[in-house]
Structure 1
Amino acid sequence: MNGVITRQQRDYFRLKLESPLCSRMTIVMIKGKSLEIGSAEVLIEDIGGGGLRFLSDLKLPVNDQLVLQFETEVFSQQLKTYGHVVRSSVWSDQIYEYAVKFTMDESAHAEINRLVNSLAIRFRQRGRLPSGRFLEGERLDYFANMKNTEQQPV
């Protein structure tokens, strides 16, 4: 099975992804001021109606004034979520793990819950990944490849 639903001390169920979901993360707001800066590739490890957990090679602060946007694709549909970092830890050498609490309205939370439930059902029924940007290789290789791609001359 590629995903497991867990309910820890959270308000929403969370789906742990054995194959992480590749996502584009952008800092869209700091202290209420909108930003237009670049984005970075990250790996979503689990997701639920209240938030997500992701890996990145960027060092980010735990700060509710820093709003992040995550964009990815699941079931051939674009998914866009917003939230702020509530916890961070070192996952491995120069890779960090972050917990994000969503800062979205209830209808967006409900949409994420529907997505999580659909993913869980798909994993149980077919035992394989649905269409989307799921990583099929190793996490560390993913970040190494991102760095190599960034360093290629134009």
Structure 2
Amino acid sequence: MNNQETNRRKFFRIYFNAPLCSEISIIMVNGEKVNTGTTRVCIEDIGPGGLRFLSYLKLPDNAEIILQFNTRILGKNQSFNGEIVWSKKRNSELWQYGVKFIVDDATQNKYVGLLNRLLIRLKKIKILSDCSFCSSENKIRCLRGF
């Protein structure tokens, strides 16, 4: 990541030793609610403003598509809604995406508190049992559900 990308961020970022497993679904397209299935992704890092994840799916960089991420953090199910702002092919199978959360000020403040608590706990213990961290070192195995 270059300095220009780092400087664009308004918030801190938590970089995980092992990815945080999440299920995603498309919840809105062109302002219309949709009901889709879910797929598993690996969240590589997260902050109050967005996250970075890996997936087998090739998704469009389109602000008209809203994704919902569902995962477990500090023992509670958490949902994050956002839009893809960039994508990059990592290898022949995997895509990496950057997501900007779609939130109001109150929700963003809630994320700041939650992620601050998570960061403090991760400084003491690298992998927490009350979060949905991949149990496998291999991201491909995690994405496939092994």
Q: TM-score, normalised by structure 1?
A: 0.85
Residue 88 of structure 2 aligns with which residue? 89
Offset at residue 13 of structure 1 (A): 0.6
1:136 aligns with 2:135: yes
**Are 1:122 and 1:130, in contact at CA under 8 Å, matched by a contact in 2?**
no
The percentage of counterpart residues that share the same residue type is 34
| Partner of residue 119, structure 2 | 120
Q: Which residue of 2 aligns with 1:47?
A: 46
In 1, Cα distance between the equivalents of 2:129 and 2:119? 10
Runs of 4+ in structure 1 over 6 Å off: none
> 1:8 corresponds to which residue?
6
Question: Any gaps of 5 or more consecutive residues in structure 1?
Answer: 1-6, 150-154
Aligned partner of 2:139: which letter? R
CA distance 1:128–1:42, change in 2 (3 Å):
closer
Q: How does 1:22-33 map onto structure 2 within 5 Å?
A: 22-33=21-32
CA distance in 1, matches of 2:71, 2:91: 24
Structure 1: which amino acid aligns with 2:6?
Answer: Q
Shift of the 128–22 alpha-carbon distance from structure 1 to 2, 3 Å rule, reads: closer
Aligned partner of residue 8 in structure 1, secondary structure = helix
Q: d(CA) in 1 for partners of 2:83 and 2:125?
A: 33
Provide the C-alpha distance between the structure 2 equivalents of 1:72 and 1:92, rounded to a whole number of angstroms: 25
SS in 1 for 2:109: helix
Give the superposition deviation at 1:133: 0.7
**Is the deviation greater in 74-83 or in 110-119?**
110-119
The match for 2:58 is 59
How big is the shift at 1:76?
Answer: 1.1
Unaligned runs of 5+ in 2: none
